[in-house]
Amino acid sequence: MSTSLRLGVAEFRARPGRALLPGVALVVGVACLLAALVLSDALSRSVDEGAPLTPSSVGHVVQVKPQSYDDDTPAANQAELDDALLGKLSAVGRAVPVQVAQADLLDANGRAGQHRAEVNVQQPDLVRWPLAEGRQPAAGGEIAVDKITAYERGLEPGDEISLAAADGRPFEVTVSGVLKRGAVDSRPVLVAGPDLARKLDPRPHTKQVWVIGGAREAVKAAAGASYVVWNPDPDAGRVGDDLKFVLLPFSILALATAVFVAAATFRAVYAQRQRQTALLRCIGAQRGPLVRRSLFEALVTGAVAGIGGALLGGPMAWILARTFDVTGISVLFGAVELSPDLLPSVGYVVLGVVVAAVLSVAAAVRPAINAARVSPLAALRDADSEVPKRSVRRLRLVFGLLFTGGAAVLALAAIAAKGSAAAPLAVTFSAIAAVTGLFWILGPVTVPFIARLFGGIGGTHWKLAGAEVRRMPQRSASVALPLLLASSMVTFFLVLLGTAQEITYTFANEERPDATVVDAGERPLPPIPAQDGVAASVALHRAETGAGADPEEFKAWLRAQNVPGAERFTSGTAIVPRHWEDRPFVEAGGKQYEVVGTVPGTLTGYTPILGGLTSGPTEKVLVALEQGTDPARFRAGLQAALPDNPTVIVQTDADERAEADRYMHLGTVLMMVLLGLSVAVAVTGIGTALTISVQERRKELALRRALGVTRGGLQGGVIAEAVMLALVGVVGGGVLGFGYAVIAVLSIGIPLVLPAVSVVLPLVLGAVAVVVLAVLAAFGPSRGASRIRPAAGLASG
């Protein structure tokens, strides 16, 4: 054991750079892991700090008993948290309803948005929502806003914002404070006192009832059997470490990629000192001490990499946080302007060192064993290439074809079993088998083959780069494999997202009104003034069941929408959505309306239309626009004509498509950023491989310099090799990911819709980014190659 340690220490003293080279990828991998942990801590801390609290003075919480599956009590007869209950509980102690109202927060133009605000009613002496800045709302004209809304609108305590009262009239309130909580997905969260809440919503929803004072048995007796009573939990709204599971899988994936890269680098480093190992074998060294020496080096390399990764984890978490803010991803988590710790805790440093050391040793085990098996005669010859024995090549071919064939069979089985639970499993195992067969076992054949596709792009540099890939096919395959896996996963998820978007577009393109005029708070609509570009419109009136409409107006509107199905629609009859077509009539107000036709539910909001029932308030106006009319222009004109009705909004087809585009954009950016961690780790493999390659080819590079190749020419050759390896990974992974995305779509049983430019463009930009990263990774090795002096290089062994 002491001999192994001395050999390992001697290697570090003699060539510290080469000994630590395999740890470069682990540094990035551990940095990704700790960045995810640190950012998750900051995210969890932000969410927990903003969670509502139960005041310590609250002794009991009363809520409606959950309804069991076998309970068929009609909804009208179910228990409610109403004034009668409050009266009973008030006889025991102070009963305070925990209520949530709905309101319309107006924008800078004085108009309501598509999403209503959630208004949490807070008693002045029972503070429930913690603030980040400012003070709790006290007067009836004060309100607190969530931090996402404050961030997006640039609000600070003391600013004025506009709200719409219950009758739709706008009025100004003062922002007294900013909540620690953030709204999720642009749905504002407000906190107001009871008086202001009643002005915004006369009928708020009661979620719970707090009881201050009184014995629990007395509270239970007053509430009755239909309610449950429990002691309050001050931390009930906290999520703890649940949010770690959002980012942690991607960091583990990046760490796994780092292990692949480290194993390939260990293999190359051990092959580089093959002659030294063979000489040690010649003088009697046993395989055991040689393996232990290599594993000791790997342990030290991993420990150093763990320290470096731990120090980089905080800054990387800060960069991710700023990226989430800029791209809008923070809104999905309800957190913005996160401030993760730049310096890791002692526990995270220990975690990083342990993880990196263990993974480094694991990555070095197989290369160390293979290196110790070197024959003593190997000291007498140079290992200029990686051409294995014919028997090894034959065995590799057999196993590679078996795995590839198995992948094809599983893919066909997944398509055949579409829609079943077995289909996704078949796709997963097929993808694993395909990667194993094509790029792990047959990688020394597949990677040089793909590299040949780029051989004709450039001149001499490209040809020499291709020759180097073919000279060391095993190393090239090992370097390309992590990048290929990362590229395939990015392509796979983006194509699936793109397919989902196209399916959403297909649904959005179903027959639906060109424009729908509604009130954001479901208030009765005012008279709608006539607008240019309208072919026909019909008002829908609120009814007990469905909506009433004038038959002639409704049929004219359907004709303008080019939709049949209402030819027999008259007063006293009904038009229903197609899933209601088996019903002979619709009953409303004690009267039966005969069903005489069906139309798509997307046209009417999936509700029956009752002919002649126009006495109720107008709840919706359906509009068919003339051909060529811009929906946005129609919206602007209508809202300008209704300045006293700020809550009247116009919903169009374009709005739904824009919403789908928004989610697609956020999903794409999120996948690109998180899976980009694995890509960044994989690219480090190119840099380490080129560093080793330059060290091995000192004599060759010196000869080129002696023959007149300039320093720039040597740099260009090394960079060309990096770009070629990057393109092999990007193209190979892209084809594999696209293929399995198609297989996954077919196995689910949904129509295959090829993604549009919205998916292709991020893939192209991602490929360009990978090539740029590869060039940056090659900068150090290429600079080292250009510094080789012809005389010194030719004199080296």
- The DSSP-derived string for 600-660 is -HHHHTS--EEET---SPEEEEEEEEPTT--HHHHHHHHHHH-TT-TTEEEEEHHHHHHHH
- Tell me what percent of the residues of the chain surpass a pLDDT of 70: 87
- Do 612 and 527 have their domain in common? yes
User: Is residue 389 assigned to a domain?
Assistant: no
Examine the domain organization and report whether 322 and 181 are in the same domain. no
Determine which helix (DSSP H) or strand (DSSP E) holds 348, and give its type and residue range. Answer: helix 346-372
Amino acid residing at 396: R
Question: Rounded to 5 degrees, what angle do the CA atoms 722, 728, 734 make?
Answer: 130
CA dihedral for 258, 264, 266, 269, sign (positive or negative): negative
Contacts of 22 (CB under 8 A, 6+ apart): 262, 265, 266, 269, 298, 301, 360, 363, 364, 688
- Per residue in 217-263, pLDDT (tens digit) is 999 999 888 899 988 876 655 555 555 667 778 888 888 888 888 88
Q: Does any domain span residue 783?
A: no
User: Which of 209, 230, 251 is the last residue before a domain boundary?
Assistant: 230
Question: According to the model, what pLDDT value does residue 517 have?
Answer: 94
Nearest to 454 by CA among 735, 713, 727, 774: 727
Do 167 and 41 lie in one domain? The reply is no
Do residues 365 and 295 touch, judged by C-beta distance below 8 A?
yes
Between helix 443-452 and helix 473-508 the angle, nearest 10°, is 70
**Is the distance from CB of 344 to CB of 313 less than 8 angstroms?**
yes
Would you say residue 692 lies in a domain? no
Q: What pTM, to 2 d.p., does this model score?
A: 0.76
- pLDDT for the residue 569: 92
Residue at 31 is within a domain: yes
The CA distance from 774 to 726, in Å, is 6
Q: Are residues 28 and 67 part of one domain?
A: no
Helix (H) or strand (E) holding 96: strand 94-105
Together in a domain, 65 and 37: no
Amino acid identity of residue 468, one-letter, is E
How many Å apart are CA 628 and CA 318, to the nearest integer? 48
Q: What confidence tens digit (pLDDT) does each residue in 281-293 have?
A: 777 667 777 788 8
Tokens of 228: 């449950």
Supply the range of the domain harboring residue 64. Answer: 60-230
Using CA atoms, how far apart are residues 242 and 263, in angstroms rounded to an integer? 33
**Distance (Å, rounded) from C-alpha 719 to C-alpha 788?**
16
524 within some domain? yes
Please tell me whether residues 38 and 64 are part of one structural domain: no
Contact (Cβ atoms closer than 8 angstroms) between residue 548 and residue 539: no
**Same domain membership, residue 211 and residue 67:** yes
635: alpha, beta or left, given left = phi > 0 and alpha = psi -120 to 50?
Answer: alpha
753 within a domain of the structure (yes/no): no
Q: Residue 191 phi/psi, 5° resolution?
A: -130, 130
Give the other-Cβ count within 10 Å of 157's Cβ: 18
- Which H helix or E strand runs over 209? strand 205-212
Q: Which segments in the chain show pLDDT lower than 70?
A: 1-19, 67-78, 234-245, 272, 284-285, 377-392, 455-459, 501-510, 750-759, 791-797
Q: Would residue 215 count as lying in a domain? A: yes
Q: Is residue 401 a part of any domain in this protein?
A: no
Kindly state whether residues 23 and 71 are assigned to the same domain. Answer: no
Cβ(163)–Cβ(104) below 8 Å: yes
- Give the residue ranges of DSSP H helices in 749-797: 757-777, 779-786, 790-795
Please name every residue paired with 379 in a beta bridge, in sequence order, or none if there are none: none
pLDDT at position 751, please? Answer: 65
Same domain? For 136 and 197 the reply is yes
Query: Do 218 and 247 have their domain in common?
Result: no
pLDDT at 18: 61
List the one residue out of 52, 483, 514, 476 whose CA is nearest residue 268. 476
**Contacts of 19 by beta carbon, 8 Å cutoff, 6+ apart:** 11, 12, 269, 297, 300, 301
Secondary-structure breakdown of the chain: helix, strand, coil percentages, each rounded to the nearest 5: 55, 15, 30
Rounded to whole angstroms, the Cα distance separating 596 from 37 reads: 61
Q: What is the pLDDT of residue 796?
A: 58
- Does 11 share its domain with 108? no
Asked whether the beta carbons of 778 and 719 are under 8 A apart, the reply is yes
What tens digit of pLDDT does each residue of 363-408 get?
A: 888 888 887 777 776 555 554 455 556 665 778 788 888 999 999 9
Decide: residue 225, CB within 10 A, 0-12 exposed, 13-18 middle, 19+ buried.
Answer: exposed
Closest CA to 41 of 247, 251, 325, 233: 247
Whole-angstrom distance, CA of residue 607 vs CA of residue 613: 14
Which of 635, 652, 669 is a domain's end point? Answer: 652
Q: In angstroms, what is the C-alpha Rg of the chain?
A: 34
User: Beta partners for 179?
Assistant: 131
Taking the C-alpha atoms of residue 596 and residue 239, their distance in angstroms, rounded to an integer, is 53
Looking at the 3D structure of the chain, how many domains does it have?
A: 3
Convert 425-447 to b/e letters by CB count within 10 Å (16 or more is b): ebbebbbebbbbbbbbbbbbbbb
Distance CA 47, CA 476 (A): 45
What are the helix and strand counts (H, E) for the chain?
A: 26, 19
Say if residue 647 is in the same domain as residue 548.
yes
User: In the listed set 610, 630, 652, which residue is the last one of a domain according to the structure?
Assistant: 652
What is residue 244's predicted lDDT score, i.e. its pLDDT? 65
